[in-house]
Amino acid sequence: MKKSLSLLFGALCTFSAGAQGLKDVYQDAFLIGTIASNQQLMKPDADTSALFQREFNVLTAENDMKWQRIYPSPQGYNFAAADALMQQAEDCQCQVVGHTLIWHQQTPDWVFEDDAGNPVSREVLLGRMQSHINTLMTRYQDDVYGWDVVNEALNEDGTLRESRWREIIGDDYIAQAFRFATEANPNAELYYNDYNLNAPAKRDGAVRLVKSLLAQGVKVSGIGMQAHYMLRSPAISQIEESITAFASLGVKVMITELDISVLPFPKQAAIGAEISETAAFAEALNPYADGLPTDVQDALATRYRELFALFYKHRDDISRVTFWGTHDGTSWKNNWPVRGRTDYPLLIDRQGQPKPAYEAVATLPASIAQ
Protein backbone atom coordinates (compact mmCIF):
# COMPACT_ATOMS: atom_id res chain seq x y z
CA MET A 1 0.00 0.00 0.00
CA LYS A 2 1.28 3.46 -0.87
CA LYS A 3 2.23 5.46 2.21
CA SER A 4 1.12 9.07 2.54
CA LEU A 5 3.71 11.77 1.97
CA SER A 6 3.00 13.02 5.47
CA LEU A 7 4.14 9.66 6.86
CA LEU A 8 7.09 9.42 4.51
CA PHE A 9 8.34 12.90 5.39
CA GLY A 10 6.99 13.10 8.93
CA ALA A 11 10.33 12.47 10.60
CA LEU A 12 11.95 15.10 8.39
CA CYS A 13 9.56 17.96 9.04
CA THR A 14 11.94 20.10 10.99
CA PHE A 15 14.95 22.05 9.78
CA SER A 16 18.14 20.14 10.51
CA ALA A 17 21.33 21.96 11.39
CA GLY A 18 23.67 22.08 8.42
CA ALA A 19 21.08 20.83 5.91
CA GLN A 20 20.83 22.62 2.58
CA GLY A 21 18.17 25.24 1.95
CA LEU A 22 16.14 25.39 -1.26
CA LYS A 23 18.48 27.97 -2.78
CA ASP A 24 21.31 25.45 -2.42
CA VAL A 25 19.27 22.48 -3.66
CA TYR A 26 18.38 24.40 -6.83
CA GLN A 27 21.59 26.40 -7.23
CA ASP A 28 22.35 24.80 -10.60
CA ALA A 29 18.79 25.24 -11.86
CA PHE A 30 17.29 28.63 -10.94
CA LEU A 31 17.11 31.25 -8.22
CA ILE A 32 14.65 30.76 -5.35
CA GLY A 33 12.90 33.90 -4.13
CA THR A 34 10.38 35.08 -1.57
CA ILE A 35 8.70 38.31 -0.50
CA ALA A 36 9.11 40.55 2.52
CA SER A 37 6.06 42.26 4.03
CA ASN A 38 6.12 45.71 5.61
CA GLN A 39 6.11 44.06 9.05
CA GLN A 40 9.11 41.93 8.14
CA LEU A 41 10.97 44.97 6.85
CA MET A 42 10.17 47.56 9.50
CA LYS A 43 10.10 45.20 12.50
CA PRO A 44 12.27 42.29 11.43
CA ASP A 45 12.32 39.18 13.56
CA ALA A 46 15.21 36.78 13.87
CA ASP A 47 13.23 33.69 12.81
CA THR A 48 12.06 35.20 9.51
CA SER A 49 15.48 36.64 8.79
CA ALA A 50 16.94 33.18 9.38
CA LEU A 51 14.47 31.71 6.87
CA PHE A 52 15.42 34.38 4.33
CA GLN A 53 19.09 33.55 4.74
CA ARG A 54 18.67 29.79 4.80
CA GLU A 55 16.17 29.20 1.99
CA PHE A 56 16.28 32.04 -0.53
CA ASN A 57 18.65 34.05 -2.69
CA VAL A 58 16.19 36.66 -4.03
CA LEU A 59 13.95 39.04 -2.07
CA THR A 60 11.05 41.18 -3.33
CA ALA A 61 8.93 43.68 -1.40
CA GLU A 62 5.35 42.44 -1.19
CA ASN A 63 3.90 45.96 -1.37
CA ASP A 64 6.45 48.56 -0.33
CA MET A 65 7.87 49.39 -3.76
CA LYS A 66 4.45 49.80 -5.35
CA TRP A 67 3.59 53.40 -6.23
CA GLN A 68 0.94 53.78 -3.49
CA ARG A 69 3.42 52.88 -0.76
CA ILE A 70 6.64 54.42 -1.97
CA TYR A 71 5.22 57.62 -3.56
CA PRO A 72 1.85 58.16 -1.86
CA SER A 73 1.53 61.90 -2.50
CA PRO A 74 3.11 64.65 -4.61
CA GLN A 75 4.84 65.83 -1.44
CA GLY A 76 7.50 63.18 -1.82
CA TYR A 77 8.70 59.61 -1.59
CA ASN A 78 8.79 57.32 1.41
CA PHE A 79 11.85 55.14 0.95
CA ALA A 80 12.01 53.75 4.49
CA ALA A 81 10.66 50.26 3.79
CA ALA A 82 12.41 49.91 0.43
CA ASP A 83 15.70 50.93 2.01
CA ALA A 84 15.06 48.35 4.73
CA LEU A 85 14.57 45.73 2.01
CA MET A 86 17.98 46.52 0.57
CA GLN A 87 19.54 46.18 4.01
CA GLN A 88 17.71 42.91 4.67
CA ALA A 89 18.88 41.58 1.32
CA GLU A 90 22.47 42.55 2.08
CA ASP A 91 22.29 40.90 5.51
CA CYS A 92 20.83 37.71 4.01
CA GLN A 93 23.09 37.75 0.94
CA CYS A 94 20.09 37.91 -1.38
CA GLN A 95 19.57 39.66 -4.70
CA VAL A 96 16.56 41.97 -5.13
CA VAL A 97 13.78 42.16 -7.72
CA GLY A 98 11.78 45.42 -7.76
CA HIS A 99 7.98 45.07 -7.83
CA THR A 100 6.38 46.95 -9.52
CA LEU A 101 6.86 50.18 -11.50
CA ILE A 102 3.61 50.46 -13.52
CA TRP A 103 0.34 48.82 -12.47
CA HIS A 104 -3.36 49.65 -12.74
CA GLN A 105 -3.78 48.91 -9.01
CA GLN A 106 -2.22 50.57 -5.96
CA THR A 107 -1.42 53.75 -7.85
CA PRO A 108 -2.76 56.95 -6.21
CA ASP A 109 -5.36 59.02 -8.04
CA TRP A 110 -3.13 62.09 -7.95
CA VAL A 111 -0.79 60.43 -10.47
CA PHE A 112 -3.50 60.70 -13.15
CA GLU A 113 -5.10 64.01 -12.12
CA ASP A 114 -4.38 67.71 -11.94
CA ASP A 115 -5.05 69.88 -8.89
CA ALA A 116 -8.73 70.18 -9.85
CA GLY A 117 -9.17 66.41 -10.16
CA ASN A 118 -9.29 66.41 -13.95
CA PRO A 119 -7.32 63.89 -16.03
CA VAL A 120 -3.87 65.13 -16.95
CA SER A 121 -2.58 65.14 -20.52
CA ARG A 122 -0.59 62.37 -22.15
CA GLU A 123 2.54 64.49 -21.88
CA VAL A 124 2.09 65.16 -18.16
CA LEU A 125 1.44 61.50 -17.33
CA LEU A 126 4.40 60.36 -19.42
CA GLY A 127 6.52 62.84 -17.49
CA ARG A 128 5.31 61.47 -14.17
CA MET A 129 5.91 57.91 -15.35
CA GLN A 130 9.44 58.70 -16.49
CA SER A 131 10.28 60.60 -13.31
CA HIS A 132 9.01 57.80 -11.08
CA ILE A 133 10.83 55.07 -12.97
CA ASN A 134 14.03 57.08 -13.08
CA THR A 135 13.85 57.92 -9.37
CA LEU A 136 13.47 54.31 -8.23
CA MET A 137 15.81 52.70 -10.70
CA THR A 138 18.65 55.15 -10.17
CA ARG A 139 18.29 55.10 -6.36
CA TYR A 140 18.53 51.31 -6.30
CA GLN A 141 20.66 50.72 -9.40
CA ASP A 142 23.37 48.99 -7.38
CA ASP A 143 20.89 46.90 -5.37
CA VAL A 144 18.10 45.76 -7.73
CA TYR A 145 19.09 43.48 -10.60
CA GLY A 146 15.62 43.15 -12.18
CA TRP A 147 12.30 45.01 -12.25
CA ASP A 148 8.68 44.14 -12.92
CA VAL A 149 8.28 47.13 -15.21
CA VAL A 150 4.62 46.57 -16.14
CA ASN A 151 2.26 44.38 -14.15
CA GLU A 152 -1.02 42.80 -15.24
CA ALA A 153 -1.75 44.80 -18.40
CA LEU A 154 -3.82 42.10 -20.13
CA ASN A 155 -7.45 41.01 -19.97
CA GLU A 156 -8.29 37.33 -19.79
CA ASP A 157 -8.88 37.22 -23.56
CA GLY A 158 -5.39 38.57 -24.19
CA THR A 159 -6.41 42.09 -25.15
CA LEU A 160 -5.01 45.17 -23.43
CA ARG A 161 -6.70 45.98 -20.14
CA GLU A 162 -8.53 49.30 -19.86
CA SER A 163 -6.63 51.35 -17.30
CA ARG A 164 -5.96 54.99 -16.61
CA TRP A 165 -2.46 54.51 -18.00
CA ARG A 166 -3.87 53.32 -21.30
CA GLU A 167 -6.76 55.78 -21.33
CA ILE A 168 -4.51 58.82 -20.97
CA ILE A 169 -1.28 57.77 -22.69
CA GLY A 170 -2.56 55.26 -25.23
CA ASP A 171 -1.65 51.70 -26.17
CA ASP A 172 2.04 52.58 -26.25
CA TYR A 173 2.22 53.22 -22.49
CA ILE A 174 3.82 49.78 -22.01
CA ALA A 175 6.53 50.42 -24.57
CA GLN A 176 7.16 53.84 -23.05
CA ALA A 177 7.56 52.34 -19.58
CA PHE A 178 10.13 49.84 -20.80
CA ARG A 179 12.00 52.55 -22.72
CA PHE A 180 12.15 54.76 -19.63
CA ALA A 181 13.36 51.81 -17.56
CA THR A 182 16.10 51.04 -20.08
CA GLU A 183 17.24 54.65 -20.00
CA ALA A 184 17.24 54.71 -16.20
CA ASN A 185 19.38 51.60 -15.84
CA PRO A 186 20.58 49.94 -19.05
CA ASN A 187 22.06 47.04 -17.07
CA ALA A 188 18.89 46.00 -15.24
CA GLU A 189 16.72 43.09 -16.32
CA LEU A 190 13.21 44.25 -17.28
CA TYR A 191 10.13 42.04 -16.98
CA TYR A 192 6.48 41.87 -17.93
CA ASN A 193 4.53 40.16 -15.11
CA ASP A 194 0.95 38.81 -15.14
CA TYR A 195 -1.36 36.14 -13.75
CA ASN A 196 -3.28 33.36 -15.55
CA LEU A 197 -0.66 33.24 -18.28
CA ASN A 198 -1.26 29.50 -18.43
CA ALA A 199 -4.65 30.18 -20.08
CA PRO A 200 -4.29 29.93 -23.88
CA ALA A 201 -5.97 33.23 -24.78
CA LYS A 202 -4.02 35.24 -22.23
CA ARG A 203 -0.81 33.40 -23.08
CA ASP A 204 -1.28 34.32 -26.74
CA GLY A 205 -1.90 37.92 -25.77
CA ALA A 206 1.34 38.02 -23.79
CA VAL A 207 3.22 36.50 -26.73
CA ARG A 208 1.78 39.16 -29.08
CA LEU A 209 2.62 41.92 -26.61
CA VAL A 210 6.23 40.89 -26.05
CA LYS A 211 6.78 40.11 -29.74
CA SER A 212 5.54 43.60 -30.60
CA LEU A 213 7.80 45.23 -28.03
CA LEU A 214 10.85 43.31 -29.22
CA ALA A 215 10.04 44.15 -32.85
CA GLN A 216 10.07 47.83 -31.89
CA GLY A 217 13.52 47.45 -30.39
CA VAL A 218 12.17 47.72 -26.84
CA LYS A 219 14.18 45.81 -24.25
CA VAL A 220 12.21 43.06 -22.49
CA SER A 221 14.38 40.61 -20.55
CA GLY A 222 11.74 38.20 -19.34
CA ILE A 223 8.15 37.27 -18.60
CA GLY A 224 6.96 36.59 -15.07
CA MET A 225 4.26 33.94 -14.86
CA GLN A 226 2.37 34.61 -11.65
CA ALA A 227 1.62 31.21 -10.14
CA HIS A 228 -1.37 31.69 -7.85
CA TYR A 229 -2.51 28.12 -8.36
CA MET A 230 -5.02 25.67 -6.87
CA LEU A 231 -4.61 22.03 -5.88
CA ARG A 232 -6.06 20.77 -9.15
CA SER A 233 -5.73 23.64 -11.56
CA PRO A 234 -4.29 24.78 -13.84
CA ALA A 235 -3.16 21.66 -15.64
CA ILE A 236 0.59 20.99 -15.73
CA SER A 237 0.33 20.71 -19.52
CA GLN A 238 -1.07 24.25 -19.79
CA ILE A 239 1.72 25.67 -17.66
CA GLU A 240 4.32 23.86 -19.73
CA GLU A 241 2.86 25.16 -22.99
CA SER A 242 3.23 28.72 -21.70
CA ILE A 243 6.80 28.16 -20.52
CA THR A 244 7.82 26.89 -23.95
CA ALA A 245 5.87 29.62 -25.77
CA PHE A 246 7.57 32.39 -23.80
CA ALA A 247 11.01 30.80 -23.98
CA SER A 248 10.66 30.64 -27.78
CA LEU A 249 10.61 34.46 -27.81
CA GLY A 250 14.20 34.46 -26.59
CA VAL A 251 13.39 35.97 -23.18
CA LYS A 252 13.80 34.54 -19.69
CA VAL A 253 10.85 32.87 -17.98
CA MET A 254 10.21 33.37 -14.29
CA ILE A 255 7.69 31.67 -12.03
CA THR A 256 6.54 34.51 -9.81
CA GLU A 257 4.15 34.88 -6.88
CA LEU A 258 3.95 31.10 -6.37
CA ASP A 259 1.41 29.78 -3.89
CA ILE A 260 -1.14 26.96 -3.95
CA SER A 261 -4.43 27.57 -2.17
CA VAL A 262 -6.04 24.52 -0.59
CA LEU A 263 -9.33 26.33 0.03
CA PRO A 264 -12.50 26.40 -2.08
CA PHE A 265 -12.67 29.38 -4.39
CA PRO A 266 -15.88 31.43 -4.12
CA LYS A 267 -17.91 31.25 -7.30
CA GLN A 268 -18.51 34.99 -7.43
CA ALA A 269 -14.77 35.78 -7.58
CA ALA A 270 -12.77 35.29 -10.75
CA ILE A 271 -9.90 32.81 -10.34
CA GLY A 272 -6.67 34.68 -10.78
CA ALA A 273 -5.13 37.55 -8.84
CA GLU A 274 -7.31 40.58 -9.57
CA ILE A 275 -7.30 42.13 -6.10
CA SER A 276 -10.59 43.95 -6.64
CA GLU A 277 -12.39 40.58 -6.91
CA THR A 278 -13.45 39.67 -3.36
CA ALA A 279 -16.16 37.63 -1.64
CA ALA A 280 -17.85 37.56 1.76
CA PHE A 281 -16.71 35.19 4.49
CA ALA A 282 -18.61 31.94 4.97
CA GLU A 283 -17.71 28.96 7.17
CA ALA A 284 -17.99 26.65 4.16
CA LEU A 285 -15.18 28.61 2.52
CA ASN A 286 -12.91 28.12 5.55
CA PRO A 287 -12.90 24.34 6.12
CA TYR A 288 -9.45 23.98 7.73
CA ALA A 289 -9.46 26.63 10.45
CA ASP A 290 -8.29 24.05 13.02
CA GLY A 291 -5.59 22.43 10.90
CA LEU A 292 -4.93 20.75 7.58
CA PRO A 293 -6.08 17.12 7.20
CA THR A 294 -3.43 14.57 6.21
CA ASP A 295 -4.99 13.87 2.82
CA VAL A 296 -4.96 17.57 1.90
CA GLN A 297 -1.39 17.91 3.19
CA ASP A 298 -0.46 15.03 0.90
CA ALA A 299 -2.28 16.55 -2.04
CA LEU A 300 -0.40 19.83 -1.53
CA ALA A 301 2.93 18.00 -1.41
CA THR A 302 2.09 16.08 -4.59
CA ARG A 303 1.05 19.25 -6.39
CA TYR A 304 4.24 21.09 -5.43
CA ARG A 305 6.37 18.14 -6.47
CA GLU A 306 4.65 17.99 -9.86
CA LEU A 307 5.18 21.72 -10.39
CA PHE A 308 8.83 21.65 -9.41
CA ALA A 309 9.39 18.62 -11.61
CA LEU A 310 8.10 20.76 -14.49
CA PHE A 311 10.21 23.76 -13.49
CA TYR A 312 13.31 21.59 -13.14
CA LYS A 313 12.68 20.03 -16.55
CA HIS A 314 12.70 23.55 -18.03
CA ARG A 315 15.55 24.88 -15.88
CA ASP A 316 17.45 26.07 -18.95
CA ASP A 317 14.63 28.54 -19.65
CA ILE A 318 13.43 29.37 -16.10
CA SER A 319 15.72 31.79 -14.27
CA ARG A 320 13.81 32.22 -11.00
CA VAL A 321 11.00 30.78 -8.89
CA THR A 322 9.61 33.22 -6.31
CA PHE A 323 7.14 32.24 -3.59
CA TRP A 324 4.51 34.82 -2.65
CA GLY A 325 5.11 34.46 1.07
CA THR A 326 7.70 32.95 3.39
CA HIS A 327 5.42 30.83 5.56
CA ASP A 328 1.68 30.17 5.75
CA GLY A 329 1.07 32.86 8.35
CA THR A 330 2.40 35.59 6.04
CA SER A 331 0.41 34.61 2.95
CA TRP A 332 -2.05 37.04 1.36
CA LYS A 333 -4.25 34.02 0.62
CA ASN A 334 -5.47 34.13 4.22
CA ASN A 335 -7.29 37.34 3.28
CA TRP A 336 -7.94 37.10 -0.47
CA PRO A 337 -10.39 36.65 -2.07
CA VAL A 338 -12.08 36.09 1.32
CA ARG A 339 -10.82 37.94 4.37
CA GLY A 340 -10.19 36.01 7.58
CA ARG A 341 -9.64 32.50 6.26
CA THR A 342 -6.89 30.04 7.23
CA ASP A 343 -4.99 28.89 4.17
CA TYR A 344 -1.88 26.72 3.84
CA PRO A 345 -0.43 27.68 0.44
CA LEU A 346 3.32 27.60 1.07
CA LEU A 347 6.08 25.12 1.91
CA ILE A 348 6.68 26.32 5.47
CA ASP A 349 4.03 26.29 8.20
CA ARG A 350 2.97 28.99 10.65
CA GLN A 351 5.56 27.82 13.17
CA GLY A 352 8.34 28.27 10.63
CA GLN A 353 8.82 24.54 10.08
CA PRO A 354 8.94 22.61 6.78
CA LYS A 355 5.78 20.86 5.63
CA PRO A 356 5.67 17.62 3.63
CA ALA A 357 5.40 19.89 0.57
CA TYR A 358 8.79 21.39 1.45
CA GLU A 359 10.40 17.97 1.64
CA ALA A 360 8.77 16.96 -1.64
CA VAL A 361 10.37 19.97 -3.35
CA ALA A 362 13.70 19.76 -1.52
CA THR A 363 14.30 16.10 -2.42
CA LEU A 364 13.24 16.36 -6.06
CA PRO A 365 16.56 17.14 -7.81
CA ALA A 366 18.38 14.34 -6.01
CA SER A 367 15.62 11.86 -6.83
CA ILE A 368 15.77 12.80 -10.51
CA ALA A 369 19.56 12.44 -10.56
CA GLN A 370 19.39 8.87 -9.26
- CA–CA gap between residue 127 and residue 268 (Å, rounded): 39
Q: Is 23 helix (H, G, I), strand (E, B) or coil?
A: helix
Contact 285, 266 (CB under 8 A): yes
Smallest CA-to-CA distance from 6 within 362, 367, 357 is with 357
Burial of 276 (0-12, 13-18, 19+ CB in 10 A): exposed
Kindly compute the dihedral angle of the four CA atoms of residues 206, 32, 135, 183, in this order, to the nearest 10 degrees. Answer: -50
Smallest CA-to-CA distance from 175 within 139, 132, 126, 135 is with 126
Burial of 15 (0-12, 13-18, 19+ CB in 10 A): middle
Catalytic status, residue 257: yes
Contact 242, 197 (CB under 8 A): yes
Smallest CA-to-CA distance from 139 within 79, 187, 91 is with 79
Catalytic-role residue among 152, 189, 274, 359:
152
Q: Which residues pair with 193 in a beta bridge?
A: 151, 224
- CA–CA gap between residue 243 and residue 216 (Å, rounded): 23
- CA–CA gap between residue 108 and residue 272 (Å, rounded): 23
Smallest CA-to-CA distance from 220 within 170, 182, 185 is with 182
Catalytic-role residue among 55, 62, 189, 257:
257
Task: Enumerate the active-site residues.
Answer: 152, 257
